[in-house]
């Protein structure tokens, strides 16, 4: 059979070629419903199955005058419930103000593309989430990517770019693929010293770290010192959407300039009850936070004892670095076969050669489950001779 000539100028052909290429590099992703004990979930506090959440939502649906927002919040889609929630959320995390977006992706893209201009420089940790990267790309400003957590490199670049208009450092407080934490106090000190500003994405920290789960920025006492903080609600808060927190002026600016806020239909008003319930239950979940932290330490120690590389993780996100894509895929399949729902994380989500398993823990997993998981991982490692 003649090999098919692929015309890359034809989009249909290009799609086929690219899919075949992904498949041949063990990089093709497929949608799969979670099976077994779920270790992919961001339901860190176990609120996704909490009956109190369901009750709050049902009550809100039953008393809602309308079940759709019917438009952008700047048109018919606003409801006072959102304003009340924005105030309550800002108070929780110690910010002056907050603005709710329909997703964390929309919040990051809207925020960064609105505040940054072409003459600015943004300094971005190499492990930052795609939504942050896309926001910076849209802003068309100069982007300096510094190696993950390398503050010396960052400082050199801040010096080198001292003549730029605005300079903004962007990090996650808990990195989603590494499970380590940004040194926020050092970063703000560095920013202050060089006249730069700091933005922190707290997607994986809200509900998990800080007093009442108010996040790492609040925990470090930096709420009034960062330019903006982004808190997604689809993880520990068992809802969806995200709050961008900062000054009153920042919220006012975003209402007028963030395109993902302006040109996006608001979520249904009743949904604010789900976000509110998630926020309040998360704030009160001290026992779950403690259990999650203890289990994270336990699992990490067991894995390290068995020769696994958990990178710099010191949170509920425990990566297990395996290297080759094929190894990660095979390992994840073995674990799934033994009842643990684990996915392989491969490039481009992580740097080439650092394919991994990402074990994402939840407060509803027991110590026994952690011990069993560690044993099964050891067993698979020996069978696969890794
Ligand atoms: C660090 C980080 N920021 C932002 C997002 C995007 O949030 P959302 O899923 O609500 O769009 C995610 C994950 O989804 C994330 O891990």
pLDDT over 90 percentage in the chain: 92
Ligand 1 mean position, distance from CA 301 (Å): 28
What is the pLDDT of the chain when averaged over all its residues? 95
Predicted confidence (pLDDT) at residue 123 exceeds the cutoff of 70: yes
Residue 57 lies in a domain: no
Q: Whose CA is nearest to atom 16 of ligand 1?
A: 176
Q: Which domain holds residue 349?
A: 34-49+286-383
The minimum-distance atom of ligand 1 relative to the CA of 233 is 10
Which of residues 293 and 34 earns the better pLDDT score? 293
Same domain, 85 and 132: yes
DSSP 3-state of 149 = coil
Ligand 1 mean position, distance from CA 107 (Å): 9
The minimum-distance atom of ligand 1 relative to the CA of 172 is 1
Q: List the single range of 202-216, 272-286, 337-351, 355-369 with lowest mean pLDDT.
A: 337-351
Residue with tokens 């849209």: 138
> Residue 2: pLDDT band by 50, 70, 90 thresholds?
very low
pLDDT over 70 percentage in the chain: 97
Residue 357: CB within 6 Å of ligand 1?
no
Q: Whose CA is nearest to atom 5 of ligand 1?
A: 104
Q: Whose CA is nearest to atom 8 of ligand 1?
A: 104
Mean per-residue pLDDT for 172-195?
Answer: 98
Best residue for ligand 1 mutational test, from 43, 176, 275 (most atoms within 8 Å of Cβ): 176
Pairing of strands 340-341, 37-38: parallel
Residue 201: CB within 6 Å of ligand 1?
yes
> Residue 4: pLDDT band by 50, 70, 90 thresholds?
low
Residues constituting the chain: 386
Contact call for residues 190 and 155 (beta carbons, < 8 A) = yes
Say how many domains are in the chain.
2
Residue 120 lies in a domain: yes
Residue 20 lies in a domain: no
Contact call for residues 104 and 236 (beta carbons, < 8 A) = no
pLDDT digits (tens, 9 = 90+) for 185-223: 999 999 999 999 999 999 999 999 999 999 999 999 999
Q: Whose CA is nearest to atom 10 of ligand 1?
A: 104
Residue 57 C-beta-side C-alpha neighbours within 13 Å: 15
Predicted confidence (pLDDT) at residue 283 exceeds the cutoff of 90: yes
Q: Which two tokens stand for residue 25?
A: 């590099």
Residue 140 lies in a domain: yes
Same domain, 80 and 222: yes
Domain end marker among 243, 263, 283: 283
pLDDT digits (tens, 9 = 90+) for 69-114: 999 999 999 999 999 999 999 999 999 999 999 999 999 999 999 9
Nearest Cα residue to 352 out of 329, 317, 319, 323: 323
How many other C-beta atoms lie within 10 A of the C-beta of residue 49? 11
Residue 175: CB within 6 Å of ligand 1?
no
Residue 28 lies in a domain: no
DSSP state of 47: G
Same domain, 233 and 299: no
How many other C-beta atoms lie within 10 A of the C-beta of residue 24? 9
Predicted confidence (pLDDT) at residue 6 exceeds the cutoff of 70: no
Residue 232: CB within 6 Å of ligand 1?
yes
Same domain, 104 and 241: yes
Predicted confidence (pLDDT) at residue 28 exceeds the cutoff of 80: yes
Same domain, 251 and 331: no
CATH of the domain at 273: 3.40.640.10
Same domain, 45 and 153: no
Mean per-residue pLDDT for 230-242?
Answer: 98
Contact call for residues 245 and 81 (beta carbons, < 8 A) = no
Domain end marker among 283, 308, 331: 283
Active site residues: 42, 129, 172, 176, 201, 204, 235
Beta strands in 202-264 (DSSP E): 228-232, 242-246
Output the pLDDT for position 1. Answer: 36
Predicted confidence (pLDDT) at residue 232 exceeds the cutoff of 80: yes
CATH of the domain at 42: 3.90.1150.10
Bridge partners of 145, per DSSP, are 124
Residues 6+ apart with CB under 8 A from 236: 42, 43, 44, 45, 47, 206, 207, 208, 213, 278, 282
Same domain, 203 and 329: no
Mean per-residue pLDDT for 284-299?
Answer: 98
Residue 90 lies in a domain: yes
Predicted confidence (pLDDT) at residue 35 exceeds the cutoff of 90: no
Residue 131: CB within 6 Å of ligand 1?
yes
Ligand 1 mean position, distance from CA 132 (Å): 9
Ligand 1 mean position, distance from CA 205 (Å): 12
Residue 203: CB within 6 Å of ligand 1?
yes
Same domain, 169 and 233: yes
Residue 23 lies in a domain: no
pLDDT digits (tens, 9 = 90+) for 312-330: 999 999 999 999 999 999 9
Mean per-residue pLDDT for 155-176?
Answer: 97
Same domain, 232 and 341: no
> Residue 258: pLDDT band by 50, 70, 90 thresholds?
very high
Nearest Cα residue to 115 out of 126, 129, 99: 99
Residue 45 lies in a domain: yes
Nearest Cα residue to 367 out of 269, 311, 295, 288: 295
The whole-angstrom separation of Cα 169 and Cα 171 is 7
Same domain, 273 and 336: no
Same domain, 265 and 293: no
Output the pLDDT for position 5. Answer: 56
Residue 172: CB within 6 Å of ligand 1?
yes
Residue with tokens 């300079």: 167
Domain end marker among 283, 314, 334: 283
pLDDT digits (tens, 9 = 90+) for 48-57: 999 999 999 9
Predicted confidence (pLDDT) at residue 3 exceeds the cutoff of 70: no
Predicted confidence (pLDDT) at residue 257 exceeds the cutoff of 60: yes
Output the pLDDT for position 148. Answer: 97
Same domain, 342 and 252: no
Best residue for ligand 1 mutational test, from 43, 106, 232 (most atoms within 8 Å of Cβ): 232
Ligand 1 mean position, distance from CA 325 (Å): 23
Beta strands in 121-234 (DSSP E): 121-125, 142-146, 167-172, 197-201, 228-232
Ligand 1 mean position, distance from CA 251 (Å): 20
Q: Which two tokens stand for residue 136?
A: 């910076």
The whole-angstrom separation of Cα 128 and Cα 151 is 15
Mean per-residue pLDDT for 127-137?
Answer: 97
Task: Report how far apart, in Å, the C-alpha atoms of 330 and of each of 181, 299, 354, 355, 381 are.
Answer: 29, 21, 15, 11, 11
């Amino acid at each position: 059979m003649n090999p098919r000539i692929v015309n890359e100028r034809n989009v249909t052909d290009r799609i086929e070629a690219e899919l075949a290429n992904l498949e041949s590099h063990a990089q093709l992703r497929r949608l799969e419903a979670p099976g077994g004990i779920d270790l992919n979930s961001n339901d860190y506090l176990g609120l996704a199955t909490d009956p109190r959440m369901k009750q709050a939502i049902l009550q809100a649906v039953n008393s809602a005058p309308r079940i759709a927002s019917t438009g952008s919040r700047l048109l018919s889609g606003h409801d006072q419930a959102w304003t009340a929630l924005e105030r309550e959320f800002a108070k929780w995390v110690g910010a002056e103000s907050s603005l709710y977006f329909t997703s964390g992706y929309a919040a990051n893209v809207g925020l960064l593309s609105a505040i940054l201009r072409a003459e600015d420089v943004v300094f971005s940790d190499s492990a930052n989430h795609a939504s942050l990267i896309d926001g910076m790309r849209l802003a068309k400003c100069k982007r300096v990517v510094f190696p993950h957590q390398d503050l010396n490199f960052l400082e050199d670049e801040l010096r080198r770019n001292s003549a730029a208009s605005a300079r903004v450092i962007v990090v996650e407080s808990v990195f989603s693929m590494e499970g380590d934490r940004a040194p926020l106090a050092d970063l703000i000190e560095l920013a202050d010293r060089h006249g730069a500003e700091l933005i922190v994405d707290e997607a994986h920290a809200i509900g998990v770290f800080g007093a009442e789960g108010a996040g790492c920025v609040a925990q470090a006492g930096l709420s009034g010192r960062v330019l903006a903080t982004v808190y997604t609600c689809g993880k520990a808060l068992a809802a969806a959407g995200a709050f961008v927190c900062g000054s009153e002026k920042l919220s006012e600016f975003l209402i007028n300039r963030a395109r993902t806020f302006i040109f996006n239909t608001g979520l249904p008003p009743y949904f604010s009850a789900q976000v509110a319930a998630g926020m309040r239950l998360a704030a009160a979940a001290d026992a779950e936070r403690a259990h999650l932290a203890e289990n994270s330490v336990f699992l990490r120690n067991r894995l390290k004892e068995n020769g696994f590389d958990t990178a710099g993780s010191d949170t509920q996100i425990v990566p297990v670095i395996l290297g080759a894509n094929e190894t990660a895929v095979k390992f994840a399949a073995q674990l799934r076969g033994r009842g643990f729902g684990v996915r392989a994380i491969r490039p481009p989500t992580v740097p080439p050669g650092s394919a991994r398993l990402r074990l994402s823990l939840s407060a509803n997993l027991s110590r026994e489950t952690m011990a069993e998981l560690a044993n099964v991982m050891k067993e698979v490692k020996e069978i696969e001779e890794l």
